[in-house]
Amino acid sequence: MILDNADQVATYYKKYGRQSRFPMTKRSSAKGDDGKLRYITMCCTRSGTSKSTSINHLKPYPNLYLDEKWRVNYVKLDHNHGLSPTKTRYWKCFWEVSSSVKKNLEVNDKAGIRVNKSYNLVVVEVGGHDNMKCLEKDCRNYIEKVRRLRLGEGDITAIQNYFVNMQAQNANFFYAIDSYKNGRLRNVFGQMQGYDMPFAPFVGIPTPLFGCLIPCLHDHAPSRIITYQDKGMKKAIKVVFPNTRHRLCLWHIMKKVPNKLKSYKEYESMSSSLDSIVYDSMTSEDFEEH
Per-residue pLDDT of 47-71, as tens digits, reads 655 544 444 444 444 444 445 677 7
pLDDT of residue 56: 44
Number of domains in the chain: 4
Spell out, as residue ranges, where the chain has pLDDT lower than 50.
51-66, 193-195, 199-201, 203, 205
Is residue 270 included in any domain, yes or no?
Answer: yes
184 in the same domain as 123: no
> 250-261 vs 267-280: helix axis angle to the nearest 10?
170
pLDDT of residue 191: 63
101 in the same domain as 177: no
For 142, the domain range is 95-149
Domain termination site, one of 248, 265, 280: 248
Is residue 71 included in any domain, yes or no?
Answer: yes
257 in the same domain as 176: no
Other C-beta atoms closer than 10 Å to the C-beta of 243 total 7
79 in the same domain as 136: no
Is residue 90 included in any domain, yes or no?
Answer: no
Is residue 282 included in any domain, yes or no?
Answer: yes
269 in the same domain as 243: no
**CA–CA distance, 230 with 170 (Å, rounded to integer):** 34
pLDDT of residue 215: 66
244 in the same domain as 171: yes
Other C-beta atoms closer than 10 Å to the C-beta of 46 total 15
pLDDT of residue 55: 44
Q: Which residues of 261-284 are buried (b: 16+ CB within 10 A; e: fewer)?
A: eeeeeeeeeeeeeeeeeeeeeeee
211 in the same domain as 257: no
**CA–CA distance, 276 with 233 (Å, rounded to integer):** 30
pTM over 0.75: no
pLDDT of residue 173: 76
102 in the same domain as 27: no
